[in-house]
Structure 1
């Protein structure tokens, strides 16, 4: 039970729960003291076990992130990228906040500060890391958190839908700039992405053993959404792979023996060199998926290639050109006449 007494103008709360050391804390307002007492007692009742919440005074947000980075992040497909993101999060003032002082309002304040320098989509990715780290701390590590403030804070609205495709003449500029790149793999990767709609990370993980030359398919053991898929390869995609085969030495080898960081840097230089504005590497996936539909492939066929399990999400990648559809309608009219 909780006992509240006033001392020197402040309110001291002491809580005794059977099987747990006594907990105490001092507040300026009696209402805050009562609220804290109700929270502790309710938490102990819900969980059915006594908990020593003094550990929350000694652990910080950064401690949770470091443990998460060292134990959970390595098991993920995007471990390198998440590790880099957590390294950035550890530099923020929020990482030094004790868990006992962490509230939804504190998280909201941090969110608003970050919104001054980065976009809402980036904020939401950071909040997702925090949220999962604290869920893990609650469920698996026995950290006696009454709530997960990162799950309760309102996420900023994101309106970052992309519709960017290669305009007339841009592919020629892009290809020429890729040819001048010092990275010998970047052009083949770009061309392969346009033929397969594969993500950059998926292309970088392709190994020779994943290719079925006879069946003209490529097996992707694990994609971003965690599922495997096998995609058909066009004649052009096969030719691109054959160009790389002169470096083949083992079926375990990567087809494109470069790194994600190297490709990112090369891409930045390429688009700057050729003067193409607002065209990201991931827009190649939009371009490829749109081309598949313009060639007449059905929704299930394109979804099989792209790996989308939700047709609504697939629709976000489709940006058909009206002039292409006009030509198709004209052909159909001629065939029907």
Structure 2
């Protein structure tokens, strides 16, 4: 049942208050300056209610943003994220709670988040340096997740105030791309092979061949452990499938990593001399801590020095893999799939390395449909 009541406002002009009462639903009201608008609102709202698409505005007025953050902290964070990621997100959520927590959900609009962005631009980190664009992106990424649950799961919001990129983010830097040239790769491979630590070479070969993250590599098992790590991703080697299956990765999805060539041969050789007191592929050298991953920092630093490779971190092996893939014709989508990125944004830094491949593809297409030319 719907009714419309007319009254005169203080300015002497008419106002039309529309009211909808449907059994099993909360009373809905709205006021308009024109009768036609009131009638249209009734028609649209009744249709939305019957189709189950009407948003209950009372929820948005009943809960504050602090309520949403608290619910996220108690219901979502412990279930969806590792202990390490929980520690990373808690101070970010605390900042948002202090900044916008007092606002009711119905009052959350993009200008409030734009003001918050400007405050973050003036914020400093523990070193006293201004917040980077990447840090600001992380703050917004976390709070966008809270807003997503507020819309989709709890129905405390109809739409997110951050939808459609309504708040402009600062430009992110292009990102570091340091990869080994052919001579550096040969020298470093030889230095790792000659290392006093027998696990450095197979770890290096596996990292270079697959592009796996260090945390994924150091938490590899020959068989699934009874108590897998919660702080980082972990995986299991399946030699019968010539692959590694990574569980609980950084982006939250399982990933299958093929083992081919020298990497496959290296893992097979490693399996023949594996320790029996642990299921880890790269266990600690300490006999009292067999289930702790090995520490390669000292052996890695020594190998870099012997190979005369400067300004190169372990994580740059991953960049090296991606760069080689790009230079050998892999598409950005293929690189993203191999590295375990959900979007292409993180792999666009390698796009310039595949320019020649793109040129060859275009040349091939043109030759086929237009002829070689004269």
Q: TM-score range by the shorter chain?
A: 0.5 to 0.7
Counterparts in 2 of 1:47 and 1:307: CA distance versus 1, 3 Å: same
Structure (1 or 2) with the larger CA radius of gyration:
2
Deviation at 1:165, TM superposition (A): 1.9
Report the equivalent of 1:149.
Answer: 161
CA distance in 1, matches of 2:149, 2:87: 20
Counterparts in 2 of 1:307 and 1:15: CA distance versus 1, 3 Å: same
Deviation at 1:309, TM superposition (A): 8.7
Counterparts in 2 of 1:304 and 1:231: CA distance versus 1, 3 Å: farther
Report the equivalent of 2:243.
Answer: 217
CA distance in 1, matches of 2:244, 2:258: 5
Does residue 1:287 correspond to 2:293, yes or no? no
Report the equivalent of 2:109.
Answer: 103
Count of paired positions: 285
Report the equivalent of 1:129.
Answer: 142
Deviation per CA, 1:81-105, whole angstroms, max 9, x where unpaired? 5423320223313252322442211
Q: What aligned pairs does 1:165-204 form with structure 2 within 5 A after superposition? A: 165-166=179-180, 189=203, 191-204=205-218
Higher relative contact order (CA 8 A, sep 6+): 1
Report the equivalent of 1:90.
Answer: 93
CA distance in 1, matches of 2:162, 2:142: 9
Counterpart of 1:118 (choices 108, 131, 137) is 131
Query: Does structure 1 conserve the Cα–Cα contact (< 8 Å) formed by 2:179 and 2:316?
Result: yes
Gap regions ≥5 residues in structure 1? 7-13, 25-30, 32-36, 322-337
Query: Does structure 2 conserve the Cα–Cα contact (< 8 Å) formed by 1:20 and 1:50?
Result: no
Query: Does structure 1 conserve the Cα–Cα contact (< 8 Å) formed by 2:199 and 2:282?
Result: yes
Deviation at 1:320, TM superposition (A): 5.4
Counterpart of 2:69 (choices 65, 72, 92) is 65
Query: Does structure 2 conserve the Cα–Cα contact (< 8 Å) formed by 1:62 and 1:90?
Result: no
CA distance in 2, matches of 1:60, 1:263: 47
CA distance in 2, matches of 1:72, 1:313: 26
Deviation at 1:288, TM superposition (A): 1.8
Counterparts in 2 of 1:237 and 1:111: CA distance versus 1, 3 Å: farther
Does residue 1:231 correspond to 2:234, yes or no? no
Deviation at 1:112, TM superposition (A): 1.8
Deviation at 1:229, TM superposition (A): 2.2
Deviation at 1:107, TM superposition (A): 0.6
Q: What aligned pairs does 1:11-30 form with structure 2 within 5 A after superposition? A: 18=21, 20=26
TM-score (norm 2): 0.54
Deviation at 1:310, TM superposition (A): 8.0
TM-score (norm 1): 0.59
Deviation per CA, 1:140-177, whole angstroms, max 9, x where unpaired? 2121x2431122532323342442224676985xx79x
Q: CA RMSD in A?
A: 5.4
Counterparts in 2 of 1:290 and 1:211: CA distance versus 1, 3 Å: same
